[in-house]
């Protein structure tokens, strides 16, 4: 595998990792506050549909993004009501959200667009209907290739290694990709350098102590669930309006569960979550380039095995074979205020 091929696979890995990263950070906020949320998949799916549908109806991807975030927050509130207010089983509530989103998205899509449970391609509604690639300054892109009168691939191949990294790996992504990476240090700062983050983590470890200090446990947990909804909404919106150009049935394809596995693999830490999601993204990217993988390992690997690798790793992590990951002590337990 040559260096340029590796960069191209890494570029694809970054695109695949972003929805996982948003969802992983969403679960991080929720679970740090003691609310386990396996409904990440359903929230991503709902956000993907409503962002694509509203973007198609309005021709504006930003309105679509807000609609996707709104749909995800609505499901988060339902999860919050079930698990915080009514002290129900958090796992059952998450499963119900997944089923609800899987059924409603297809039903509404068929009613609105009559295209077999999918939305029309956003490419048909103009450039503002989806997130487009951003060419950073001094990067080699289509504009430079047109000016030079040469194919873009030739210009990239003849460039220096630094220019190849900058043009192939760093430049050329949609704005949500850069927002996703910026969310990692922001999440770290909020959780570990602010009073809100300290209280949020304390709620996940010892809610009774937080309550004794006069801080609302319910309020903090609802705040965490709302942040989870916002991040899941961005994950779903990126799937439908950034990574692809429209919604199709079950397009989240288990990414919510992969994000949960990445969260456990990362031991509920933001920076570790970034590398875990990039690992899963790289495994998904390799499935698109089986020829390069075969040249690297000198073994004929079935494409189906490469497709299954992220899900195999998910099962391995969730089964507890990758180190010892200790969740927040009060996670999954409804808080009952002592009288």
Residue that is written with structure tokens 């409804």 in the block: 334
Show me where the domains of the chain are located: 3-125+155-318
For residue 227 the two structure tokens come to: 């942040």
Give the contacts of 1 (CB within 8 A, at least 6 positions apart): 292, 293, 295, 296
**Phi/psi of residue 159, each to 5°?**
-80, 165
Q: Which of 268, 270, 271 is nearest to 205 (CA)?
A: 268
Please, is 330 exposed, middle or buried when counting C-beta atoms within 10 Å of its C-beta (0-12, 13-18, 19+)?
A: buried
Could you say which architecture CATH assigns to the domain 3-125+155-318?
Orthogonal Bundle (1.10)
Residue 337 gets the label, from left (phi > 0), alpha (psi -120 to 50) or beta, of beta
1-19 pLDDT, tens digit per residue, is 578 888 888 999 999 999 9
Asked if 187 contacts 29 with a C-beta cutoff of 8 angstroms, the reply is yes
251-298 pLDDT, tens digit per residue, is 998 999 999 999 998 989 999 999 999 999 998 888 887 776 666 666
pTM, 2 dp: 0.94
Distances from the Cα of 53 to the Cαs of 18, 65, 66, 108, 246, in angstroms?
A: 21, 10, 12, 10, 8
Rounded Cα distance, 18 and 273, in Å: 11
The low-confidence residues of the chain, meaning pLDDT below 50, are none
Output DSSP code: residue 122.
G
């Amino acid at each position: 595998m040559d260096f340029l091929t590796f960069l191209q696979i890494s570029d694809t890995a970054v695109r695949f990792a972003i929805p996982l990263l948003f969802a992983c950070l969403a679960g991080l906020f929720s679970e740090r506050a003691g609310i386990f949320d396996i409904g990440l998949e359903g929230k991503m799916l709902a956000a993907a549909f409503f962002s694509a549908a509203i973007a198609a109806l309005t021709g504006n991807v930003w309105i679509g993004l807000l609609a996707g975030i709104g749909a995800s927050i609505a499901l988060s509130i339902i999860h919050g009501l079930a698990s915080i207010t009514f002290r129900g089983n958090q796992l059952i509530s998450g499963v119900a959200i997944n089923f609800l989103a899987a059924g409603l998205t297809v039903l509404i899509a068929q009613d609105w667009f009559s295209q077999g449970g999918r939305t029309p391609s956003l490419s048909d509604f103009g450039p503002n209907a989806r997130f487009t690639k951003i060419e950073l300054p001094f990067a080699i892109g289509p504009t430079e290739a047109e000016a030079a009168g040469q194919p873009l691939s030739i210009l990239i191949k003849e460039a220096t290694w630094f220019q190849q990294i900058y043009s192939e790996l760093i430049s050329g992504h949609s704005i949500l990709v850069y927002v996703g990476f910026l969310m990692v240090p922001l999440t770290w700062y909020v959780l570990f350098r602010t009073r809100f983050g300290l209280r949020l983590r304390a709620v996940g470890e010892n809610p009774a102590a937080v309550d004794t200090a006069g801080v609302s446990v319910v309020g903090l947990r609802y705040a965490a669930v709302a942040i989870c909804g916002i991040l899941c909404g961005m994950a779903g919106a990126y799937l439908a309006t950034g990574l692809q150009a429209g919604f199709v049935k079950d397009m989240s394809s288990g990414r919510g569960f992969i994000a949960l596995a990445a969260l456990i693999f990362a031991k509920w830490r933001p920076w570790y979550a970034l590398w875990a999601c990039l690992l899963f993204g790289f495994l998904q990217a390799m499935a698109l380039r089986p020829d390069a993988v075969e040249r690297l390992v000198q073994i004929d690997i079935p494409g189906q095995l490469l497709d299954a690798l992220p899900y195999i790793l998910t099962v391995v992590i969730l089964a507890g074979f990758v180190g010892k990951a200790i969740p927040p002590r009060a996670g999954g337990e409804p808080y009952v205020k002592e009288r």
